[in-house]
Amino acid sequence: MTDAPADLANANAIGRSLRRIEDRPLLTGQAAFAADLRVEGQVHMRVVRSPVAFGRITEIDVDEALELPGVIAVWTHADVAALPQIDFRMTRIEGLGPYRQWVLARDFVRYVGEPMAVVFAETGFAAEDAADLIFAEIDELDAHLSATADPVEVYPGVETGLLSEPAVIRKGAGDVDAAFAAADRVVELEVAVGRHTGVPLETRGALAQHDPDSDVVTMMGAAKVPHYNRGAIATMLGLPTDKVQLSEQHVGGGFGIRGELYPEDVLVCHAARVLGRPIRWIEDRKEHLLAANHSRDQAYRLRAAVDPEGVILGLDAAFYTDQGAYVRTHGGTVTDLAAAMLPGPYRIPAYRVAGHIRLTNKTPAGTYRAPGRFESTFARERLMDEIADQCGLSRSEVRRRNLIPEAAMPFDRQIDTLGTHLVYDSGKYADLLERFRTMLDLDRTEDALAERRDAGEMAGCGLGFFVEKSGLGPDDLVRLHLSGDGTIRIVTGVASVGQGVETTLAQVCAGTLGIGIDGIEVIHGQTSLIEKGMGAFATRVTVMAGSAVKIAAEALIAKATEAAAKALGADPADLTFDAGRVSGPSGALTLAEAAQAAGGEIVAEGLFETTHMTYPYGIHFAQVSVDPETCGVTIERYAVAYDIGRMVNPMLVEGQLVGAVAQGVGGALLEEFVYDEAGQPLATSLADYLMPTAMEMPEVELLIREDAPSPINPLGVKGAGEGGINGAGAALAGAVSQALGRRVDRLPMTPERIYRWIRG
């Protein structure tokens, strides 16, 4: 940590595994999640969802439902026709507009689970009973289920010419044709990642209340991006922004999918105003698996121009994102990130990619932890293994030869993503690989596995080298309130999805002020308490809000020093600040005393702005054995190397990495949304959508390094949120592929697929 600023090197709160502030309410059962919220007079909302994958709605009969005792209202599209489609939060690409989803289906249903009607009733039971009585007459159309097949019309006969390929994202740099002309060999590969997603244990839910006096509608149960969603809901309802407030409670997991603006969020807010009663909506698990964003599901075609040493001269790539039925709030984010990050940690001087966004009649897709990277890392690392095999190199050697050298940092990829120029800010890739090889005793490990294979076993190992991205701007604001009793309240617009935001920000504050974290409280996700906030996504909170806290704490020091100078009759220049005290020749004041001297409170602000992301990186290693008869995979060893730049709380970093590995194991081996030919989803409960449990999880060995701090933020931090999943599919596929002695080109690697691979 040679690069750490001097004041932080001395601080004791940063870099320590302090216990989580947020755990006390959770462990004592005091914490409230969305489903814990109840208010007098609340009305239960139940969404009626399409039973078919594609069709034209001819009639929705709601009469019988309306007659049921306890039913207050039933709405279909006609009742909410004034509400516009749900707009994009990110990566708004030309041409995506017509593909947005309505709050309730208009004329067509495009996936099983699409909201067609909504029931409001006095009890949850009555609401479900009524939903059962609503019958939609739908002229079924043939479901389009392949993102690689030729595009078809999205609204046949109505909007002719609107095809199921809303956009193609193209990026590139260097002379690809020249690279292929100069190549010694061309290595080609087709691979695909199955459809799966983040499945938070807490399903979505909301409670919206309208206050007639102030005309403000407040929605509790917000997550991830409360400020953005508040603005979006206000726009949709035609209200000034300050007439909508969003409030986050404890959130039981986000993973990118929870907290985006969905039809249900708009419906509860609208209904609270129209019906004049509080509206409660809690999603059940089946709905969640049908209605919340799916993700992944990309198919890649890669061609690499390779020189005799196994060095990639150029990469020509095309891939297809199965976006599902509509383009949701993320716009082209997943495809854009996949296109930008596909080259990963390798030089690849010439690169050309076409990322096709394709609609199908499946649940719409969005971002899920390491969006576009889990997939592109899988594709790229499979390619690296293929190059290794074809060039007769070891898997680590082919990677080493292609890595971007430290001397090339900061490394400009000459492409843009998410509206930022893609520049890897710092990295010692080869150094991390060497350390990891040593930790794993990789050569010996590989020899031992080769011996086992010679003896007839199916065993192997694989590597997944990746670059992550973190700290997406443009900015974040925090406000620190220091009271006369010395306690500090940090108010921020970022959100907590359970990742330890409160602890992390408190540690940065405490570390900057040289005090303990006990008297520090963190308020997040409340639109009524701070005017802006970007939220929790893109592994951005520690980088953005952490930096803002540091800036704010430094401003607080300046203000406290000023107040102390007045109180002590000293020149501020003669005062020093250390360990929560302002001292000078004529005496010293604690922070509490400084606040008292300033009239009882000192408020300081910190705004951190950036136009660039920071890029942590790492390597996954998996060792597996495959049972040739049951086709089951046993993970014998799992390790992750990760350079995070700088750690605020090592325990939280470890938790993030290991938790993400679990989800990576799910996506690599277990989790898949399977559809039949008619577009009926076949994995609609947790009995069929298989998430890993503790029993399926290997012990995860971690090599966390702080060798390449970020030069572009005041803390030197990079994020921890997504590195633990990014390379999991790649490493596990590499391992299974080596164990089977054949190409593995598809995730998840289910027993059925392994059975087919083994039998050729």
Give residues in contact with another protein (CB under 8 A): 124-125, 128-129, 132, 284-286, 629-632, 670, 672, 674, 682-683, 685, 687-688, 690, 692-693, 695-696, 750-752, 755
Between residues 97 and 751, which has the closer beta carbon with respect to another protein?
751
Q: How far is the CB of 593 from another protein (least distance, A)?
A: 55
Written as six digits, the tokens of 15 are 């870099």
667/168 Cα distance (integer angstroms):
26
372/338 Cα distance (integer angstroms):
4
Written as six digits, the tokens of 169 are 């994202």
Distance of CA 160 to the CA centre of its chain: 35
Residues 6 or more apart whose Cβ sits within 8 Å of residue 127: 44, 45, 46, 71, 119, 120, 121
Q: How far is the CB of 712 from another protein (least distance, A)?
A: 43
Between residues 456 and 585, which has the closer beta carbon with respect to another protein?
456
**What are the backbone dihedrals phi and psi of residue 476, each rounded to the nearest 5 degrees, phi first?**
-150, 145
C-beta of residue 257 within 8 angstroms of C-beta of residue 293: yes
Pairing state between β 459-467 and 475-483: unpaired
11/5 Cα distance (integer angstroms):
10
330/94 Cα distance (integer angstroms):
14
Between residues 143 and 669, which has the closer beta carbon with respect to another protein?
669
Residue type, 591: L
Q: How far is the CB of 498 from another protein (least distance, A)?
A: 23
Q: How far is the CB of 441 from another protein (least distance, A)?
A: 30
Between residues 593 and 672, which has the closer beta carbon with respect to another protein?
672
Tokens 């596995």, located at residue? 449
Helix axes 751-758, 728-740, angle to 10 degrees: 40
Q: How far is the CB of 487 from another protein (least distance, A)?
A: 42
597/485 Cα distance (integer angstroms):
12
Q: How far is CA 309 from CA 181, 184, 230, 402, 513, in A?
A: 16, 9, 54, 10, 53
Between residues 125 and 137, which has the closer beta carbon with respect to another protein?
125
Q: How far is the CB of 70 from another protein (least distance, A)?
A: 12
Q: How far is the CB of 47 from another protein (least distance, A)?
A: 12
The DSSP element (H or E) to which 334 belongs, if any, is helix 333-341
Q: How far is the CB of 632 from another protein (least distance, A)?
A: 6
Written as six digits, the tokens of 366 are 């969005």
Q: How far is the CB of 674 from another protein (least distance, A)?
A: 5
Between residues 184 and 752, which has the closer beta carbon with respect to another protein?
752
327/337 Cα distance (integer angstroms):
16
656/658 Cα distance (integer angstroms):
6
Q: Tally Cβ neighbours within 10 Å of residue 122.
A: 16
Q: How far is the CB of 288 from another protein (least distance, A)?
A: 10
What sign results for the dihedral spanned by CA atoms 719, 724, 730, 731?
Answer: positive
Between residues 46 and 100, which has the closer beta carbon with respect to another protein?
46
Between residues 125 and 170, which has the closer beta carbon with respect to another protein?
125
Between residues 238 and 632, which has the closer beta carbon with respect to another protein?
632
Q: How far is CA 748 from CA 450, 460, 688, 728, in A?
A: 24, 17, 14, 11
259/219 Cα distance (integer angstroms):
12
Distance of CA 539 to the CA centre of its chain: 7
Q: How far is CA 86 from CA 14, 105, 266, 569, 687, in A?
A: 41, 12, 9, 59, 32
Q: How far is the CB of 669 from another protein (least distance, A)?
A: 9
Q: How far is the CB of 454 from another protein (least distance, A)?
A: 23
Between residues 58 and 630, which has the closer beta carbon with respect to another protein?
630
Between residues 102 and 673, which has the closer beta carbon with respect to another protein?
673
Between residues 444 and 759, which has the closer beta carbon with respect to another protein?
759
Following CA atoms 234, 285, 53, 674 in sequence, which dihedral angle do they give, to the nearest 10 degrees?
Answer: 130
Q: How far is the CB of 194 from another protein (least distance, A)?
A: 12
Between residues 421 and 756, which has the closer beta carbon with respect to another protein?
756
Long-range CB contacts for residues 419-424, cutoff 8 Å, separation at least 24: 419/91, 420/472, 420/473, 420/611, 420/612, 420/613, 421/611, 421/612, 422/340, 422/613, 423/612, 424/467, 424/615, 424/617
